Amino acid sequence: MGVDLRRTCGLAFALAASMLLTPQAQAADLAHGKRVFQSCSSCHAVDSDANRFGPTLKGVVGRTAGSVPTFRYSQAMKDAGANGLIWDEAALSEFLYSPKRKVPGTAMRFWGLWTQSEIDDVIAYLKSFP
Ligand code: HEC
């Protein structure tokens, strides 16, 4: 009994340690990204070209800001795109951390994501819908 328990603990420890040490543990986690996207999906579709309260995010990674022709953007977002804002990973990361700081005057009413893993994983999720 005691021996079994110790062996189980040892195994669990080895497993935990290997999870911490393998680089995969830091790679983007699509399942987590999908869960994070639930906080976006009330306003955004990602798997179709349909606009909701916000523009479709299908293919958003690499896209010029404010460029879905069928969506009525705020002037702020249209200006940001005209001034060369492209939604690469760095720009998305800043926008998702603080939409209002990245694009002052944006119509996206969202407080922002707080942790880098939420941001990285939701961007990886967006990238999986080119
Ligand atoms: C309350 C509704 C709402 C929520 C929630 C929301 N958005 Fe938005 N989003 C908008 C609106 C509206 C716009 C258009 C903003 C503008 O025109 O200024 C927008 C714009 C964007 C853009 C720019 C798109 C483009 O074509 O330039 C990105 C990227 C984006 N949202 C990502 C997200 C992500 C990722 C989440 C979840 C973490 C999210 N949004 C949550 C409403 C929302």
Q: For 78-95, write each residue's pLDDT tens digit.
A: 999 999 999 999 999 999
| Residue 130 pLDDT grade (very low, low, confident, very high; cuts 50, 70, 90) | very high
Comparing CA positions, the residue from 124, 128, 107 lying closest to residue 116 is 124
What distance in angstroms lies between residue 73's CA and the mean position of ligand 1's atoms?
10
Please give the domain boundaries of the chain with CATH numbers for all domains: 28-127 (1.10.760.10)
Q: What is the pLDDT of residue 28?
A: 83
What distance in angstroms lies between residue 39's CA and the mean position of ligand 1's atoms?
11
Q: Which residue has the higher pLDDT, 14 or 115?
A: 115
pTM score, whole prediction: 0.85
Residue type, 69: P
Q: What is the pLDDT of residue 77?
A: 98
For the cut 50, the answer to whether the pLDDT of residue 15 exceeds it is no
Q: What is the pLDDT of residue 12?
A: 53
What does the block give as tokens for 75? 């002037």
| Chain position carrying tokens 């690499």 | 62
Q: What is the pLDDT of residue 7?
A: 58
Q: What is the pLDDT of residue 27?
A: 73
Give burial (CB, 10 Å; 0-12/13-18/19+) of 39. Answer: middle
For the cut 60, the answer to whether the pLDDT of residue 129 exceeds it is yes
For the cut 50, the answer to whether the pLDDT of residue 64 exceeds it is yes
CA pair distance 60, 45, nearest whole angstrom: 11
Residue 113 CA: nearest ligand 1 atom is 38
What distance in angstroms lies between residue 41's CA and the mean position of ligand 1's atoms?
10
Ligand 1 interacting residues, C-beta cut-off 6 A: 39-40, 42-44, 53-55, 57, 60, 65-66, 68, 73-74, 76-77, 87, 92, 95-96, 106-110, 113, 122
CA pair distance 17, 19, nearest whole angstrom: 5
Q: What is the pLDDT of residue 21?
A: 47
